[in-house]
Structure formats: structure tokens, C-alpha cells
Amino acid sequence: MVAPLWLAPKERLQDLIDALRQRQYTVVAPVVDQAAIVYDEIDHIDRLPRGWIDSQAAGHYRLQPTSRDRWFDFVVGPDSWKKYLFPARCVLSTAKPLPDGWQFESAADDSPAYAFLGARACELAAIQVQDRVFLEGPWIDQIYQHRRSRAFIVAVNCTRSGENCFCVSMRTGPACHSGYDLALTETDEGFVVDIGSERGGDLIASLRLPEAPLEKCTAARLSQERAAMQQSKQMATGDLPNLLMTNLEHPRWKDVGDRCLSCTNCTMVCPTCFCCSVDDVTDLNTGAVERQRQWDSCFHEEFSNLNGRPVRNETRSRYRQWLTHKLATWHDQFDTSGCVGCGRCIAWCPVGIDITAEVAALREAPVRCPA
Amino acid sequence: MPCMTMSSFWQPVSMRIEGIQTEIDGVFTYDLRFTKSADRTSYHFEPGQFNMLYLPGVGEAAISLSGDRMAESVWRHTVRVAGRVTHTLSRCRVGDTLGVRGPFGQGWPIDAWVGDDIVLVAGGIGLAPMRPVIYEFLRRRAEFGQITLIHGARTPETLLYSTEHAGWERGGIVVQATVDRASSTWRGHQGVVTLLLDRLSIARPQRTHVAMCGPEIMMRYAAISAARRGISDERMWVSLERNMQCAAGLCGHCQLGPMFVCKDGPVFRADRVHSLLAVEAL
Amino acid sequence: MARKPRVAVMKFASCDGCQLSLLDAEDELLAVCDRLDFVYFAEASSVLQPGPYDIAVVEGSITTVEDEQRIRELRACSTRLVTIGACATAGGIQALRAWGDSQEWIRTIYPRPEYIHALATSTPIAAHVLVDYELHGCPINAHQLIEVLIAFASGRSPNIPAHSVCLDCKRRGTVCVMVARGQACLGPITRTGCGALCPTYNRGCYGCFGPVDGGNAPPLLAEFRRQGHAAEQLVPLLRNFNATAPLFREAGESLLDNPTDDR
């Protein structure tokens, strides 16, 4: 175990950004845009959401200024790192017309090597979930692999929990334990830096930081514990897969189906949802065809179309698919829950449907109709 | 896997249509041959597997391989015109090229059936993914006990591969066909496939396997019938159909409970999916 | 090569914007004309050939007795009939007459009202004749129209997505204006097609492409009102280009039946 280092004053974070950029990383970090904190490419600390926090509830998100000089007191917004590792739109292959047929080629992914600055514990967990989906099955997603293998992760330990956070009950946070190259914990005067990989250690060595004083390490640990204590939302996970799969005909599915807009927002903001669709885009002038992959959603009516009709033809069956996949069958498929407790689906549901409340309702009155 | 590595499965290879046969109204069989000889060398598929057939500018469709796996370099697919891709495919001609990805999925566990009696239940186009099994049985006939094919169709004219049935019978497979609506010249059975299954002599249910492919409603009733004859779920096999786009378990479309039909199936042992298929709109 | 399909572009009560959007698709226009023969397209050519047509592209709604007759005649001489735009698929902005006194408006607006023989309703084409394909939008997305035309010319069904606008917002990284700004946005119950244009400019969707299939308006309206949007603001939001599309019509009526704030 390498001793934590001390990055102070906080403006020295620029040195870290510079070191990453020197090593040809494109640095992506939280920024304020469109009335929210989203992830974007940055080259200077000025763009970080210093002094901003988010106020969240079910179906509600607002930015607020804070009087404290805090750089990372907000929690997670609508974006997740999946937009860089599993892009919303990409070209998979191309088909060029030849005189006697078609020439098929894989599309090159010319994405840069990314450095993610500010990944939270639940987000590290989400990346690890998607690793299992895209890298550990019989088939490997080349685009994800290409981007993931080169990504450098500077995590940030949460020192404040949001109203929708339930990472404690999902055992994914708020403190980062693995899956990062470097992890920062913000204190009043600076950042305690934990080294999580050899690559992280090499990079931070170039900043010639001192070891973090004991009281800073203690302050950092206490603030993480405080964040955990702040969480009031929780998901009871005990025997959850079995509870859900034995309640596939529960009346609650109709109840939530009546409230759900089937708008796809929960799945789009979810950092682990991986559903996608593939369509052809033809250039009519040249006849060349691109095969494009886009994010899609099990809430999209046509998603389950078979011979022109959806298998999951009602909102209740689509909500049931999402919830049972995320919390039950994900375990069968990938040996992990698909939920990391980030709360995005709760915040960004336009009508504020709360996944933890739906599970609690099923748990309260199970009907046990076996599947 | 011949055409692709584990990570380049998105890229199609080019194949040329070498023959088109009209099987019945709206059902065609396409013989495809690799346009590059290099792709032919590692040619191999298991009965029950499928390919993604790709028409650039239109899209892909998951189509079972319906030919003999030992056939030299020709990939045979029987296609029912149903959607955008299959409709466009029906307008293709011999000599046209298209893209192919595959083969994908888990096929029929033929080797696990050695020594046992087999009942194949096929409804309509559901016979297509079973034909490679039939060819395998004909080649290895001595390794199996009694083999029966029950094939149901709407009318006598829509029985699939009917010109081959006599040859299959000569090869030692009992072929029983039944139709929903008989014509005046029809001398065979009339009614649903379960009626034939109910009447079938099953000498040793503990050593009999039932393999089914067809509409889910047909398979559900066939499974009930087989169960009544003392055949347990662990010896029943079904081939399922769902929306598939990646064929590799990565796009999410084909899920049925914990299963990705594309990579965990399309052939499943019935006990793995029986209760899932009973839930409406899962 | 088989002969090119004969295409007629016909106009009923409409602003011409949808058919003009085809002419605006300059990059693809020549390629489209390579595959299709536009034999009747008044906005593009003064040579107007009579039917029969392989594909009739119909813009506009039915607002006169003559329209009713003309659309039946067009249907009779067309193999496929495609309606384009909110007017043709939902009645258009002119369907707002359903909630007013159209005779009174005619008297007020026109110096010689006796020349005007308008029906009391503006109805979509599908209310009068069989329609093979409806392409929504005010105006339509020209790329979608090209896809429809190319698809029919190739004898296949068009590949036009039918999900909500929300999916487009998320794919392009637009932050939800409803959740982050409290705006009333019809995106969750509106059909895709525009690429989420309005939310990307920080304002709520006003439903140009009409209701999404299976849209669930009541909980969305309840949430709007919980957030403080009054019925008087929401009814005009629902009643514009697709005012008489069933989902939007019923949503507007439910607000008026129950105008008090739920909070």
C-alpha cells in the first residue's frame, strides 16, 4: 500500500491535468452546461463546476451555488462515462458498392485515449459492470475494448450524498475501493491522492507531491463516512432476484405501467444499460452504406418487435423487463447486479418514478406467482 | 467460428447467391457461396445455428441455416418473407451478393441424443432449422433409435421440403405430416401436431427426446402433450425466435428472462425456458 | 432496369412547407430523381401529368367538400398513398376550428365570406381514404420522406423510427429541460423525427411530430401541474399543429374538464 499524497493548494489540480495532457490523454471532467453538470473535454481547471452543487429529488434536478469553496460537492448528473466508452452513436462497419458486389469493412474507431477526471465510486462500479457485459462474454465489443483499455481514471471520493443516492445499500460507494488509477478526496485545503495502479503512480510521481499528513487523511476518511451517513434512500437487496422473478404477474407492474411514460429516459441515463440498435445509413449519391449503432431502450415499443409486432406490447411489460433485468436476470447473465445505486433513473424520470420505491412496493406485498 | 474473430463479429463477409429455390408461397431457399475463397477454408456450422443475412441499405435478419453442414462451401438458408430484409431478399437474383455474419448461437445437442429415440416437431417454416439435424440423422442413422418427424402446416401446399420427405423415410425417419385445412386430394392427417404426438407410439419415454420448432403456441401445446406421454422437460428442446440485432448478446433485443436467445439459444432445453414462456409479454 | 415509379405530390389544405422540404434536400435530390419520376409536383414543375400514379404523396388536410372528392379520385388512381405532415396526418393547425366558430371567423376575416365553402372540420387524409403510410411532422423531416420514397420504390417498408423525442435528447447529450429547468416539454409523448431540436435550444418540445404510439399523457400532465404549470398554459401547448391527434386532443380536453391545480 502506497501512502496517500497531498495535492495542495487545490489549484494544483491543473498540474495533474497538464501531466495527463502531456501523455496525450484527452481529459474529460464535469462541467456546468445546460443547467446541469455534464461531462466534457477540458484543458483547464477553470471549467470545473467549482462552487456548484446539485439539488435532486425524484424527477428533479437543479444546480445551486454553494458558499463553500468546494470543487466536487455535487453528485452525479445526467451524463455517465458510458458516453465515452460506449458512444451513443458510432459506425460499426461500411459497405461500398463494387461492380460485382459489396466490399465490407470494419469502421475504424479514431477516439483519443481518455482520462476521466471525477469518476465517482458508483461510476467505477458501473464501468466494471459494463466491462463484464462488453469484455467478458463469448463476444467482445471492439469499440468498448479499444476505448476502455486506454482510459485513465482519476476518481473522486464523494464527500456529500445526493437525495437520490443509494450506493451504500448497493455496496458500491461512496468511497472508491478499486478500478481507478488515482483517487482524490477533497478537503478544505487540498486533495488527498490515493494511487490505485502502477500507471497512476507513474503519472502522479511527475508532480512530486508530498505524503498526505495524517490529519488530512483522517479528514478525508471522515468526510467519506459522513457522505455514507447522509444517505436516506436505500434498496433492500436481500433475495431480490428471487423476489422479482417470482412476482412477474404482480399487480404493481400495471400500477407502475400506468404511471410510466415509456419515454426511455431511465435507461438512457443509466450508466450500465447497454441496449442498442443498428441501422443502415445510405449515401444515395455514392451508394455507400454505413452500419450505425445507437443507444436504444427496452422502453421503446419497437425494441422487441418480432415479425412486425412488439413482444413486450405494453408499458407494464417493458417496465417489468427493465426492472427485472437490472436487478434480477443481470445476476444470471453477468454475475452482478445491473444497478449501482447512482439514482440517475430516479432524478431523470420526468414523472419521478423511483426504482427503490417500486422494489419496496413489490417486497411489501409479494404475490409469488412463480416464473 | 469461421468468418470472424471474437471481437470482429460486427463485420460481414461477402457471399454470392448461387441458387434460389421457391419452396412454398413466400418461402425461398438461398444457396450462398463465399466470394473470397479464403473465407471457405474454415467453413463450419452446427445444426440449429443461424446467420445474420445483411442487405446493405436495408438491414439484417437472423436466418437459420437449413442445409447440410457437410455440404461443400454452400450455406443454405430458407427464408420466409416477413419483414423489410426478407422482403428485399425475395427480390434478389442469382449472382447478387450480400453480407453474412455468423454462424451464431447454440444448436441442437445431437450428440447427447445418441442411442435414444427422437421426435422432431416442426410447425411451418420451423422445419428449416431442423433440416440440418435430419441430414445428420440420415448420415448417422445407426447411432439413434426410432426417429419420427411430425410436420404441421396450414395446407398440403405449404408443407416444407415435401419433395424430400420420401427420401427421409427411405433413410429411416418416420415422417408424419398434418395440415390444418386439407384439400380433396390430401390423404394424410388433418389437425394440429399435438394430435399426432398424442397418438405416436413412444416405447421408452425415459429414452426419448422431443425437439420442437415452430410458433410458440404450437410448442407450448406440443410440450404439454409430450409431458403427458411421460417425457420430462429435460428431454425436450425448443428453438425460439426473438428480435436480434447483434447476435452476440450485446444489444439486448432478444432477451427472455435471463436468456439472450441469440447466444444462449436459439435452441434451449425446455426446462430452462418453460416457465418464462408461460409469462405473457416477457 | 424496371421503369421508375411515377410519383405525384399533391396538396390539400396546407402551407406547402412539407413538399418544399423535399426540394430543400439538395444533396440527395438528384439521386432521388434518378430513382423516381415526379410526374406531378406543382412546386417543382409546371408539367403536370394525369394519373395513374405508383406513389401519391399527399400534403394537407381535408377542409372542403371538393377536397373530399379530390382525395377519393387520387386514391382511386394511386397504387400507394403516403400522407406527409401534420395537416395530412392529423388535420394540422387549421383543425383548431374544432374549438371555435369557423363561420364567425370567416365572416370576420374575408371581405366576401360567401365565396368561402369550408367544412366545419379539418380532418386527416386517413379519415377519408385508405392511407398506406403516414409520415408525421410540422414540417416533415426531408430525410425521412426520402427514406419512404426510396423504400416504396424498392418494394420494401420504410425504416422510420417511432420512439419518443427523449431518446434523441439523450443520444445527443441534451439535458432534460423538464427535469433540470422545470419546463413543460411534450418530448416524452411526442414521436421522434426532429432530432430533439427544441430541447437542444433550451425549450420544451411542442409536439410537432405528433403523439408517439402508445403515449401516456395523463401522468405527464399531472407532473406538469404538480410543477406549477397551469391548464391555461398547457392546453395551447397541446393544441397546435397536431391538436386533433387523439392523444393530444384527449389530453387537452382532460385539462379543461379538470382545470384546477392538483397541488
Convert the pLDDT of each residue in C60-74 to its tens digit.
Answer: 999 999 999 999 999
ipTM value > 0.90: yes
Which residues of chain B approach chain C closer than 8 Å at the C-beta? Answer: 58-59, 83-84, 87-88, 91
Q: Would you kindly state where each structural domain of chain A is located, as residue ranges?
A: 5-86+109-230, 240-275+299-364
Name which of A59, A280, A300 is nearest C179 (Cβ-Cβ).
A59
Quote the minimal CA–CA distance from A270 to chain B in Å: 14
Confidence of residue B71 (pLDDT cuts 50, 70, 90): confident
Asked if A332 has any chain C CB less than 8 Å from its own CB, the reply is: no
Mean pLDDT of B6-27: 90
The chain A residue lying nearest B247, using CA atoms, is: A139
Confidence of residue B3 (pLDDT cuts 50, 70, 90): very low
Q: Report the C-alpha gap between B171 and B134 in whole angstroms.
A: 10
B13-104 under CATH 2.40.30.10, yes or no: yes
Q: 90-129 in C: which are within 8 Å (CB) of A?
A: none
Mutation for testing the C interface, residue in A52, A284, A296, A300 having most C CBs under 10 Å: A284
Mutation for testing the B interface, residue in C156, C157, C159 having most B CBs under 10 Å: C156
Residue type present at position A121: A
The ranges of chain B annotated as CATH 3.40.50.80 are 110-277
| Fold of the CATH domain C6-153 | Rossmann fold (3.40.50)
Confidence of residue B1 (pLDDT cuts 50, 70, 90): very low
| Summary mean pLDDT of chain A | 95
Confidence of residue C2 (pLDDT cuts 50, 70, 90): confident
Quote the minimal CA–CA distance from A261 to chain C in Å: 5
The chain A residue lying nearest B263, using CA atoms, is: A138
Asked if B167 has any chain A CB less than 8 Å from its own CB, the reply is: no
- Residue A141 makes CB contacts below 8 A (sequence gap 6+) with A86, A134, A135, B7, B250
Mean pLDDT of C175-182: 97
For position B73, what pLDDT does the model report? 77
Mean pLDDT of B210-221: 94
Name which of A264, A285, A351 is nearest C163 (Cβ-Cβ).
A264
CATH architecture designation of domain B110-277: 3-Layer(aba) Sandwich (3.40)
* C159 contacts on B by Cβ (under 8 Å): 58-59, 84
Q: 232-261 in C: which are within 8 Å (CB) of B?
A: none
Instruction: Bin A55: left if φ > 0, else alpha if -120 < ψ < 50, else beta.
Output: beta
User: Are C166 and A302 an interchain contact pair (Cβ–Cβ within 8 Å)?
Assistant: no
Q: Would you kindly state where each structural domain of chain C is located, as residue ranges?
A: 6-153, 165-257
Confidence of residue A158 (pLDDT cuts 50, 70, 90): very high
Q: Across the strands, what pairs with A95? A: A104, A289
Please choose, from the candidates A112, A58, A99, the residue with its C-alpha nearest in 3D space to the C-alpha of residue A348: A58
Handedness of CA A357, A360, A364, A370 (dihedral sign): positive
The chain C residue lying nearest A79, using CA atoms, is: C173
Q: What is the largest CA-CA distance in chain B?
A: 55
Mean pLDDT of C122-151: 96
DSSP C146: H
- Residue C125 makes CB contacts below 8 A (sequence gap 6+) with C12, C58, C61, C62, C71, C81, C83, C88, C89, C131
Of residues C178 and B38, more confidently modeled: C178
The chain C residue lying nearest A285, using CA atoms, is: C31
Quote the minimal CA–CA distance from B118 to chain A in Å: 28
Q: Report the C-alpha gap between A224 and B242 in whole angstroms.
A: 46
User: Are B84 and C156 an interchain contact pair (Cβ–Cβ within 8 Å)?
Assistant: yes
For position A37, what pLDDT does the model report? 98
Is-contact C84 C57, C-beta < 8 A? yes
Mean pLDDT of A107-126: 96
Query: What phi, psi does A252 have (nearest 5°)?
Result: -65, -30
Interface partners of chain C (CB pairs < 8 Å, 3 or more) are A, B
What pLDDT, in 10s, does the model give residues A276-302? 999 999 999 999 999 999 999 999 999
User: Are A284 and C31 an interchain contact pair (Cβ–Cβ within 8 Å)?
Assistant: yes
Q: 10-49 in B: which are within 8 Å (CB) of A?
A: 10-14, 16, 35
Judged against a pLDDT cut of 70, whether residue B148 lies above it is answered with: yes
For position A108, what pLDDT does the model report? 87
Quote the minimal CA–CA distance from B57 to chain C in Å: 10
For position B54, what pLDDT does the model report? 97
Judged against a pLDDT cut of 60, whether residue B5 lies above it is answered with: no
Q: Report the C-alpha gap between C261 and C255 in whole angstroms.
A: 10
Interface partners of chain B (CB pairs < 8 Å, 3 or more) are A, C
For position C242, what pLDDT does the model report? 97
For position B2, what pLDDT does the model report? 43
Judged against a pLDDT cut of 90, whether residue A4 lies above it is answered with: yes
Mutation for testing the A interface, residue in C176, C200, C220, C225 having most A CBs under 10 Å: C176
What pLDDT, in 10s, does the model give residues A59-95? 999 999 998 889 999 999 999 999 999 999 999 999 9
Quote the minimal CA–CA distance from B228 to chain C in Å: 41
Q: 198-257 in C: which are within 8 Å (CB) of A?
A: 202, 213-216, 219-220, 222-223
Judged against a pLDDT cut of 80, whether residue C260 lies above it is answered with: no
Half-sphere exposure of C15 (CA within 13 A, CB side): 15
Asked if B242 has any chain A CB less than 8 Å from its own CB, the reply is: yes
Is-contact A369 A250, C-beta < 8 A? yes
What pLDDT, in 10s, does the model give residues B236-271? 999 999 999 999 999 999 999 999 999 999 999 999
What pLDDT, in 10s, does the model give residues B169-194? 999 999 999 999 988 888 889 999 99
The chain B residue lying nearest C154, using CA atoms, is: B88
| Summary mean pLDDT of chain C | 94
User: Are C164 and A262 an interchain contact pair (Cβ–Cβ within 8 Å)?
Assistant: yes
User: Are A102 and B245 an interchain contact pair (Cβ–Cβ within 8 Å)?
Assistant: no
Judged against a pLDDT cut of 70, whether residue A48 lies above it is answered with: yes
- Cell for C119? 367544412
The ranges of chain B annotated as CATH 2.40.30.10 are 13-104
Query: What phi, psi does C198 have (nearest 5°)?
Result: -65, -50
